[in-house]
Structure 1
Amino acid sequence: MNDLPHRFTEQSVDPNASYDAAITENPANQGVSSGRTKRAVALAVARHTKFWAPGRTLRIAFLNGNQAFKDAVKKAADNWLPHVNLKFDFVEGTEGDIRIRSEPGVYWSYIGTNALLETEGPTMLLSPDLRMPGFFAANVMHEFGHALGAEHEHLHPEMNIPWNKQAVYELHGTSEDDDEDSYMRREVDQRYFNLLDASEVNYSPYDPQSIMHYAIHQEWTHGDFKIHLNLVLSEKDKAFMSKAYPYPTAENEQASH
């Protein structure tokens, strides 16, 4: 979730297919937008067009991995459950709304309902290294945050990290002098530098304690700015997911009868 040079961001998806899948899954994903490019967020930075339908059970399939890996994933992912109107059903095999593949050195996930666009392969990759349980759990919670629809907090529209861009580029084997069409240059820009557009989102104050925030090492910035690795869900993480996946209110329940 943080400073792994070989961790790739979400694969590109067709925006129209992404929109259609999200609205079919949960009509509320349309939010306040009158068009397909408008995005809305609340209590964190995330595209509202990719939330699963509240109240549903997400089937989560393990494509591989030993039992210790699977147990550790379940334990970490379950930290989200007290804050969402969802259930997780972990299964074996290839049939699942979310499909996890164990792959050394990689942490990655599709964002929310974009997982529905992947019909065969994994929708989430998790490294099986369990030597640092706290780090592993934090990465799992981070990737499940993505799987539930959250974006990266360090890309908050009002974030103003004093990046030492050349240091970050060099860490990933690229350079500020590389062409902007360079694959790794684009990956670094997308991962660290390309903030969400304030004109396209509604957002609340930046949360440096979010599980969706990368660790920012001081040598990656100018001055003394740094963000330590967040190992647990923040209060704003919990509030955000509670709003994204609400339980029915008594008023709504009465209206449905």
Structure 2
Amino acid sequence: MNNAHNCVAKQPDNMQASYDVAVSENPANRPTSASGRQKRAVGSHKKFWAPGRTLRIAFLNGDQAFKDGVKAAASNWLPYINLKFDFVDGEVGDIRIRTEPATYWSNIGTDALLTVEGPTMVISDWMLQPRLFAHYVMHEFGHALGAQHEHLHPESNIPWNKPAVYQDHGVPEDADENYFGRKTVDDRYFNLLDPSEVNYSPYDPKSIMHYEIRQAWTHGDFKIFLNLAISEKDKAFMAEAYPYPE
């Protein structure tokens, strides 16, 4: 593994279906125009759950230590959001968690509603370093609550040394942009989110949603350590997404 958290934020195969479930769950997920009026624009919608609801979170497998660790770490989000978590065993849940070795991914927010079978989140059960495990869980639950990767923020401006990143991921020097390995690296690290299609606050290098950035992968004296706690901007972002009634 070439970085401490090789997470994949799953993108939907059907954008229309993603839009439909998002708006059905929470009408505020419709995109808005500059004037504040809601508009229909498939692909530029938000994916937040309806504030005030209880998310049923099902464990598809895993031992009790894994489940307890997930519950404890995921609950770090709860003080900042108007949601409740109901953790259960079995195959029925809004969010369904499976553990697999060295694997981390999650659907983004309401995209979890696109399927009723199989996992919507996968987390490795490697728990030898509790703080690192908690980071993984909080990061994946950030996705499950509707957050994207912070290093892909439209304003991140990371001075990437792309050849170094390609090399460490086994991408040949002469690979063109359509080479699968290069495209995978581009999507994971370099292709920033379209500002017209995401809901974002100012760039936050301390976000729990940010990848660790190695200095060897950048130009100059630039690196970002793995963030092990939910940042103040993370808290504010989620509090705005999941407000309490006034």
Q: TM-score, normalised by structure 1?
A: 0.88
Distance 1:151 1:202 in 2: 9
1:26 corresponds to: 26
The residue type paired with residue 164 of structure 2 is: A
Q: Say yes or no: does 1:87 pair with 2:92.
A: no
Matches within 5 A, 1:33-182: 33=33, 34-37=39-42, 39=44, 49-175=46-172, 177-182=174-179
Distance 1:138 1:106 in 2: 14
| 8 A contact 1:153–1:207 mirrored in 2 | yes
Cα deviations across residues 164-207 of structure 1 (Å, max 9, x unaligned)? 11221222222453232333322211111011123444643211
The residue type paired with residue 22 of structure 1 is: A
Give the C-alpha shift of residue 127 in structure 1. Answer: 0.5
Give the C-alpha shift of residue 100 in structure 1. Answer: 0.4
Distance 1:138 1:104 in 2: 16
| 8 A contact 1:7–1:105 mirrored in 2 | no
- Equivalent in 176, 184, 188 of residue 181 of structure 2: 184
| 8 A contact 1:18–1:114 mirrored in 2 | yes
The residue type paired with residue 109 of structure 2 is: G
1:196 corresponds to: 193
Query: What is the identity percentage for the equivalent residue pairs of Structure 1 and Structure 2?
Result: 67
Give the C-alpha shift of residue 225 in structure 1. Answer: 0.5
Cα deviations across residues 143-182 of structure 1 (Å, max 9, x unaligned)? 0000000011111111111111122122222245323233
2:230 corresponds to: 233
Q: What are the ranges of 5 or more consecutive residues in structure 1 without an aligned counterpart?
A: 40-47, 250-257
Distance 1:185 1:106 in 2: 20
Paired residue secondary structure (2:10): coil
Distance 2:224 2:213 in 1: 5
Distance 1:2 1:236 in 2: 27
Give the C-alpha shift of residue 36 in structure 1. Answer: 1.6
The residue type paired with residue 29 of structure 2 is: N
Aligned residues: 241
**Compared CA separation, residues 203 and 91, structure 1 to 2 (3 A):** closer
Cα deviations across residues 69-90 of structure 1 (Å, max 9, x unaligned)? 0100000000000000000000
| 8 A contact 1:165–1:176 mirrored in 2 | no
Distance 1:226 1:200 in 2: 27
| 8 A contact 1:8–1:187 mirrored in 2 | no
Give the C-alpha shift of residue 11 in structure 1. Answer: 4.5
1:10 corresponds to: 10
**Compared CA separation, residues 192 and 10, structure 1 to 2 (3 A):** same
Distance 1:2 1:196 in 2: 22
Paired residue secondary structure (1:50): coil
Give the C-alpha shift of residue 9 in structure 1. Answer: 3.9
**Compared CA separation, residues 104 and 23, structure 1 to 2 (3 A):** same
Structure with more contact order per residue of length (Cα contacts < 8 Å, sep ≥ 6) = 1
| 8 A contact 1:9–1:187 mirrored in 2 | no
Q: What are the ranges of 5 or more consecutive residues in structure 2 without an aligned counterpart?
A: 34-38
Paired residue secondary structure (1:88): strand
Cα deviations across residues 42-79 of structure 1 (Å, max 9, x unaligned)? xxxxxx52000000100000000010001000000000
2:36 corresponds to: none
More displaced 10-residue stretch of structure 1: 82-91 or 4-13: 4-13
Q: TM-score, normalised by structure 2?
A: 0.92
